[in-house]
């Protein structure tokens, strides 16, 4: 079993904030994979079930961001899990908007939600870092993360949520590369995806005249051929 945690702040006031992208990801995951209904447990909201071959518990702490560790720690202990069984999805200022990265263990980089989880369960849990970009100056960080995503950001945000949901089973099963591939297929599809293949010699454009076959090269004459020609010449 995996405990998959999305970080955010409870209440309609914060629902569309950049800081709540972890909640958004879990909501999409639960909807797409038929998990739920959400129940009040562990100082948070949980939905549980199976995503493919993986058994999971989704957790949205309702303690506010700075106390997220209280909810995560309580859930982890009750479910008899280790930090290695916990995956936390959170906003990441140091990644460009729409980018997604995985990390196992390490520091909290000043993120208050991660800082609280460190205090309650240690640092050995997994993280899914969801890029929201940086406002450019540290004094602008607080109002930036507590502001809603702009309308112009909705397309990449939806693509990212779809990709995370597509890769949810791989994430729960510990297959990081397959999870990231699922995200990338939504957020960065191949440049020529959906475009017709350029015509080639092997696959000519329909209706095009077939390429002319090269004329065969003259065969070199054998010695007997040359002697026969000379005999005919001097007759």
Residues noted as catalytic: 19
DSSP H stretches of helix in the chain? 21-33, 68-78, 112-121, 141-145, 154-166, 168-172, 176-187, 223-233
Q: CA 180, 183, 186, 188 torsion: positive or negative?
A: negative
Q: Quick count: other Cβ atoms within 10 Å of Cβ 149?
A: 17
Q: CA 92, 156, 167, 52 torsion: positive or negative?
A: positive
Output the six-digit token pair for 212.
Answer: 């002319």
The C-alpha atoms of residue 204 and residue 28 are separated, in whole angstroms, by 44
Q: Is 19 within 8 Å of 114 (Cβ atoms)?
A: no
DSSP H stretches of helix in 64-206? 68-78, 112-121, 141-145, 154-166, 168-172, 176-187
Output the six-digit token pair for 220.
Answer: 């070199």
């Amino acid at each position: 079993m995996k405990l998959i945690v999305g970080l955010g702040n409870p209440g309609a006031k914060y629902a569309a904030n950049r800081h709540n992208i972890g909640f958004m990801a879990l909501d999409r995951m639960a909807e797409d994979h038929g998990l739920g209904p959400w129940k009040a447990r562990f100082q948070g909201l949980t939905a549980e079930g199976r995503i493919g071959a993986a058994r999971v518990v989704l957790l949205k702490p309702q303690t506010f961001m700075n106390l997220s560790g209280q909810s995560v720690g309580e859930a982890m202990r009750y479910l008899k899990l280790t930090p290695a069984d916990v995956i936390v999805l959170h906003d990441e200022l140091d990644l460009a908007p729409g980018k997604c990265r995985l990390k196992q263990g390490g520091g909290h980089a000043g993120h208050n939600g991660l800082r609280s989880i460190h205090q309650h369960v240690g640092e050995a849990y997994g993280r899914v870092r969801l890029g929201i970009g940086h406002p450019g100056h540290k004094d602008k960080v607080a109002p930036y993360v507590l502001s809603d995503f702009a309308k112009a950001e909705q397309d990449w945000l939806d693509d990212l949520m779809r990709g995370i949901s597509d890769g949810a089973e791989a994430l729960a099963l510990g297959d990081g590369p397959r999870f990231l591939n699922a995200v990338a297929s939504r957020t960065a599809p191949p440049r020529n995806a959906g475009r017709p293949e350029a015509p080639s010699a092997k696959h000519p454009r329909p209706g095009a005249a077939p390429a002319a076959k090269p004329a065969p090269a003259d065969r070199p004459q054998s010695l007997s051929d040359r002697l026969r020609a000379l005999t005919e010449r001097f007759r």
